[in-house]
Structure formats: structure tokens, C-alpha cells
A and B are shown apart, each in its own frame.
Chain A
Amino acid sequence: MKKFTLLLSALVAVATVSAGQIANNIQRVRLNGIDVIAYKTGVKDVVYLRGSLPAGDDKAPADNSMVPTLVGGMLSRGTLSHTKSEITAMLDAVGASLSFSVNSAMVEFNAKCLAKDVPLVLSLLGEQLREPAFTEEEFSRLKQQTLGGLKRALESTDFRATDTFTRTVYGAGHPNRNATIDERIAALDSATLDNLKAFHAAHYGPAYLTVVAAGDLDVASLQAAVTKSFAGWSGGTPRLVAVKNSATDDAKEQTVFMADKTSVNIVIGQATGMKYTDADAIALRTGTAILGSGFTGRLMANVRDKEGLTYDIGAGVANDMFADGEWKITATFAPALLDKGIASAKRQLTNWYENGVTAKELEHRKDNLVGSFKVGLATTDGLAQNLLVAIHRGKELTWLDEYPQVVNSLSLEQVNGVIKKHLNPDEMFLIKAGTVPEAAK
């Protein structure tokens, strides 16, 4: 009887971690240049694989910003050894999944499978990273589907507001600055397979590849599979050192008018000039959480709960993983309540900036941050994701054990000091996207 219960609980079990234990349970080796991080958890039979190599948008050739994204898109469209259909069939047969995405600095992969299928998935991962087929037929399909995705993005008020925000706070050349949709469509149109092959040859390789595996692992078997899948591969280029942001002289208020929208998205914010690794980063994040995180954050508690002006409003620090990032408030308002909503959000911002946070708020928020960190690590996927994020942020893997202590050691003076030091509401930008009343006139 007991055996059944134990076995079953193993099947549904999650990562067994607690403070101080994570780094000690990691097995990290370098194999053929590849940084391989393994974490065996209590989960039964399933494995999550995540990883990346530095071949993101920041390495795009000067004449075409879409090339890294398109190379990433071609990885799952067939290799020199197997067609797209054959690869899909092999994964489908065992219920595994393997996908790729490209961000400002990295091409990332995300896979999940049963433990017995880790060698198969790593073999296909190796094949797809090393020898994509780059066929004309698939390239043509990818271009059309990407065009469709870009056009659909134009329908989203959320996308239009945040996309415009990147071009107001980040100067030319900064990796967090998005090209316009029109620029991306033009680049998509002009990209050639030769562009993609050249980029792949230049930047794909094992030298800066990271593989994170968590779950029901046989670590020796995992390492053997990595060795086999990537044997004989060479190359790869290091992550670029991001250029520091240079301010734009764009208008402080901008409106992206979109017809037929019943809710307007807004962004209020600025560039911070800070990366996650900077000394003040955690203090600024903690102070910002008091303003704009969760239902007890000042923005939700006042602009939503007391005044009923919005369904969602929050503040956060973002895009500081690979380069210096941004600070922003995001919210949605009905067009008729837009002015009132923005005024209310700004009132909270000003009060927070001028008067700082209280000792009680800081004490509560520390508990919240440490508690939610613990909850976030309680799944195998959450653990794998947090390990990769720590690496991307340039932290040692001990960071996951150290974080609670770092948060708990913050002082009130420190938190209120960094708010004043790094932010300036008078210099913040305001972007509105949607059927904005005054723009419709």
C-alpha cells in the first residue's frame, strides 16, 4: 500500500529544493566547450531541457535586422539528415517537444521529454543547431509566416505601446531598441538564404552554448548524449558587450492611434542605464515592487482597487539581462477613463518617488519576494528556467541560494536612495496605443 503511494507521489513530484541546497546539487561540466548544467529532481520520468547560444538579434548584420530571427526559425525546418516532417514524427512518436526562439542576445531552445528520450532529443537538438537544411521551400514558408506574425502584431495595443516605447527610450544601436514593423518587413523581404547561411556559419558553435537539464536525470547518460550529439562541432562567438544607451530626443508623449479598440495600453517610463548585475539593481527592483507588483502594490491598490480605473496596472524593471534596461509603468484604460487613469498613475508615481517607501512596506515586500521565489522554484520547469536566467544575467549559480539573503539585507535608506538616484519622473516618456480620444478627432 505504502509503495503505491510513494511511487505515485514520485510521478507527480516536483523539484526538491530549499534554501542553500541548489548550488550544491548542481552538476556542471564543460564538454566540447559546452556548459552543461544538470539538476536531478524528485520528479518521476520527465525532463526539461533549456539552453542558449549567443546568436541573437544584437549580432544581426548591419544591413538586415531579421537575419538572426530567420536563422532561428529555420532550425526546426529540416536538417541535412532529416526533413522537417521526419523530425516532427520522431518527436511526436514519444510525445516530446523541442522549439527555438530568438531574443535580443540569444537563440534559445526549450524541450521537454520523458527521461528515456533525452538522448533522442539531444541528438535532434545537435542536428538542428549544427546542420539546418536551409531549403528554399522552407525559407519561403518561414518568410510568409513571419510576415503574417508581424502584421498581426500591428493589431495588438499592448505590442504597439511597448514596441514604440523601446524606440523612445533607447538610442540607435542599443540592443533593446526595436526596429519598426515596416523596417522589419523590409528586412524580411530582402533577406536571402545566403545571408542566413553566413550568419549561421559565423555565430553557431559549441563554444558559448549552454545546456540546462532538470528532472529525472541520469546525469552520466545526459553528459554522454551531449558529448555524442555535439562531437566534432566547433565555432561560436561570445556574447557582445552591449553598448550603453544614448538618450533619444523624441517627444515625451506619443500616441499610436489604432481604430476600433475598446481599451488603450499605456507605458510610462525611462531607461535606467542599469543591468541586473549592477549593485543597485535588486534595491531598485524591490522598491519598484512596492509601487507596482501584485494586488497590494500601490498602483493596483489605488488605481484599480480604490478608483476602479483599470483592470491591470503595474510597474517593473525589464530588459536588463543582456544590456542596461528600462523602468516602466504599464496599464490599460478605457478611452473615456484614459486621462483620469494616467493622472492617477502619475500621482502614485510622484508620491512614491518624492516620499519613498515605508519600513513596513519594505518588510512586507521582502517577505513577498522571498516567498514567491521559493514558490517559483517548486517546479522542475521553474528550476530549469531560473538556472538559465541566472546564467544569462551573468550570475553564479549560487545566486539562487543567495537571493533571499540579498533581499533581506536591503535597508530602507538603500531602497529609497536608488529610486532617487536612477529615476526621474520629469524625464519619463508616456506612450498611448489604441483608440485614443484626442487622436481620433
Chain B
Amino acid sequence: MKRLLALSAFVASAALHAALPAVEGFSHVKSLGGIDEFRLDANGLQVLLMPDHSAPVLTFMVTYRVGSRNEVTGTTGATHLLEHLMFKGTPNHNREQGNNVDQLLERTGALYNATTWLDRTNYYQTLGSEHLATVVAMEADRMRNLYLKEEDRRPEMTVVRNEFERGENSPFQALIKEIYQAAFVAHPYHHSTIGHRSDIENVSIEKLRAFYDTFYWPDNATVSVIGDFQPAEALALIKQHYGPIPKAAKPIEEIYTSEPEQLGPRRVTVKRAGQLGVVAVGFKNSAALHADWVPTQILADILTDGTNSRLYRALTDKGLTTNVSPYNGPFRDPSLCIIFAALAPGATHEQVEKALLEEIERVKTDGVTQEEVDGAIAKQLTQLAFDRDGSFAIAGQLNEHIAMGDWQNFVQIGDKFKAVTTAHVQSVANKYFNVDQSTTGWFVPILPGAPKAAAAK
């Protein structure tokens, strides 16, 4: 335990940096935990460099501060659809020339893709370090030069629609969507990142173009380079390819919609073909950078992580569930901490929900033990160490902290975990895990052959 703490403290305190590269046109902003932040003076592009030469690979990643929270009715899913269209080519990189994104990257053996979530969209490549110049040029090119053709949108729409359909196949995922939609009535976390089917099908190429022209600018992006590269060389390449791109012509508007206070419990039910039920209780949590988020994560771990957790003992060991799991949404704005309980054969939703809420009440009343907090912290700290196994893993973590609003949280979160006390955990349990701020979802399976009406409760 002490070794863990010492290591974590070291990471947090390693705010020093060796011989910062001096490349004209960049301002050094800060350095922390082995990461140097620069800003490209010409257009405000944020650049994070984390060199490490222990393997001859690197990860190059661009994070755009746009996600499904930036969408409104009619454009739900647009961020994600646009992410797909980002692979469709530019005048400089396209299939006809044999150098579109896929053609360029697959030949190198790169691990590459893009992802979209509530607060951000990211594009990443992990590949041999000799290919850095290639990916910088390609990513900079598609920031502003995307074709965005209707003839590309049409077939890609059906691709995305099948992605939507695959998600809908899972009763579990369908339940999560319903819970978020009930829990958020004003804030755009209401709708899922994949969007509504009708919006996926009907959003026009003009609206996607408007989305691209609003958000895909250097001053709304962060470029991260992690792994085997020379910082001065990387900065020079970034300046060469991103430097000519102007900053956004208009300031990018901040989301100002906040969720009104929830004044009572909400419930949703999904009934469809299936075998076993699920109970999920979502409590409004804090934003990820708020001081309460980390103690809430420790609370969720104490409740559900491992066979010694409170709910595993109260539900799974007693034959009511096959497993329990947490999901503490780590987002820019307050979202949900959801406790999932997968029903065991023979158990009822009522039994499971009652037992789950009783355990939460016990924490609120009696608190948790020091041993429980220490164990949860130890697991989180060790996981942080494993999350640094390679540039790709680091990029994945760093990306989420950029999306939350401060990349430094990637370095600081270890210290935040270390500081959690039993009092914090009890406090956040009382502050957030209240039925009046909850949205409870039941998946009620309809067994093969059973009429839907008969299965209804």
C-alpha cells in the first residue's frame, strides 16, 4: 500500500520537465506528470506531448471538444455520423489516389479508429514511430478539408443505422438509453450518442456540414502524441500541417442548458423478448472534475466491485443476482451513477430492488469501514498503473480527461483517490444516492412463446 501511495505521489509531483523543445510558434503552457502542454500561437491548437522511448511505437490522437451534448432534436447522432464521414476522404487523401485514411494506415499495421461520446470525438492511431509525419499530415488535412458528399452520407447512414440496430439488440443497452432519457429532461445527456433512429436516417448533409464547420477547428481540438518520438520534431510537424489552418471564424458556443432539480423518483420499464431481468438504479452524480466524483467512485466500488462488495454479498451471494456492477458516468456535466443488478433465475425485480436500496441506506446511515475504503483505493491506484501499459492505453485515458475539461486530471486523479476518507464516502452517499434523485429501470423479459400482455407486470 505504501509503495502504491509513493508511486502515485511521484506521478502527481513530477511537474518538472526536461529540456523543453523550443519550436517557434508554440507557447509552452504547463508540464505535469511527464506531459508537456503547448499551444500553437497561430490558431490556439492545444498540443500534449508525452515522450517514452521504451518501444518503437507511438500513439497520435486528435480530440475534438464536440460530442452528443452539442446536438439538438433533429441532429441527434450527428456527431457520430460525422465521425464516420471523416474517413470518406479529402482532395488530398482519397480512395482514388490510394491514400485514404484506411489505405494509408492499414498498410502500416496501425491500430486506429475513432470514437464519439457525450463530450468529445477522438481520432487515434497507434503505429510504428517512423510513421509520425504521415499521420500528422493526414489528420491535419481532414480537420478542414473533408469532402462531406451526399453520395457518401447515404451508404454511411445505413452503416450507422446498423450500428444503432446492433445496440438495440441488447436489452441491457436499450435499458440504459431509457434511463438516461428519463433522468435528463433538459440537458442533452438525455439522448444517447448513437442518436434517434429517425435523426440518423434523415439528418441532411447540409446539417452535417454545418456541424463540421462549427466544431472542427484547431482551437476546439487537442493533439496528443504519446510514445517514441522526438518532441521538437513532433512540434515541427504539427506546426507545418496545422499551422496554416485558421482558428474558428466564430467563437464556439458553450452549452448553457443545465438539468433542473429532480423532485421525485422516476421509473422506466423495457419489456421485450429475453430470458432474465435487470434492475438498474441511476442516481444523479457530480461532474467528473467536481470533488465529489472520486468519492462517489469509491462508494460505487465498495457497493459492487468484487466478491467482497456490499451488494455482491447481499444480492449475488444470496442468489438474487448473477452479478452486480457500477457505472459512474465520468463526464463534463453531472450525469448518472448507475448500479446494475442482473437477476438470477427465480429472483424478482421487487426483491432485488428492495435489497439493493436497503444496502445503500445502510451505507448512508452507518457509513463504510476504513478497510473497505483502503481496498477500493488500492484497486483504483493499481488500475491507474495498468492503464499506463503502452501508449494506446495512455491515450485512451488521457482522452477522457481532456473531454472532462482538464487533461491534468489524468495525472492528479491518483492523489484524489488517496485522499478519500470514510466520511467522504458516507457524505456522497447521502448527498447523491437519494431515491428522489434516482431513475430506476427494469428490464422485464418476455420469454419465447409468452404473449406480451401476459408478461406485463
Contact = CB atoms under 8 A, between A and B. Distances in A.
Nearest to B58: A378
Given A88-B307, A368-B108, A263 B162 contact: yes
A107 B159 CA distance: 38
A155 B274 contact: yes
A112 B342 contact: no
Interface in B1-38: 1, 3-4, 7, 10-11, 14, 16-19, 33-34
B162 A372 contact: no
Contact of B54 (A16, A309, A367): A16
B110 A9 contact: no
Interface residues on A, range: 35 or more
B160 A94 contact: no
A242 interface: no
B34 A9 contact: yes
B381 interface: yes
B321 to A, nearest CB: 8
Nearest to B113: A295
Contact of A151 (B108, B160, B276): B276
Given A94-B1, A151-B275, A368-B108, A378 B52 contact: no
Contacts of B391: 14, 378
A308 B109 contact: no
A18 B56 contact: yes
Interface residues on B, range: 35 or more
Contacts of A26: none
B11 A263 contact: no
A187 interface: no
A368 B111 CA distance: 10
A94 B269 CA distance: 40
A147 interface: yes
B135 to A, nearest CB: 13
Interface stretch (B165-173, B202-210, B217-225, B328-336): B165-173
A8 B33 contact: yes
Contact of A88 (B158, B306, B316): B306
Interface stretch (A40-48, A266-274, A318-326): A40-48
A37 B171 CA distance: 43
A301 B161 CA distance: 17
Contact of B16 (A4, A145, A379): A4
B53 A144 contact: no
Contact of B161 (A16, A334, A374, A381): A334
A10 B391 CA distance: 13
Contacts of A306: 155
B102 A295 contact: yes
B162 A13 contact: no
Given A5-B18, A14-B55, A309-B158, A95 B379 contact: yes
A311 interface: yes
A244 to B, nearest CB: 34
Interface in A394-434: 434
A308 B308 contact: no
Given A12-B52, A88-B306, A155 B171 contact: yes
A184 interface: no
B169 A85 contact: no
B385 interface: yes
B42 interface: no
Given A112-B382, A378-B56, 7 more contacts: A14-B390, A84-B307, A96-B382, A295-B102, A334-B158, A364-B106, A371-B110
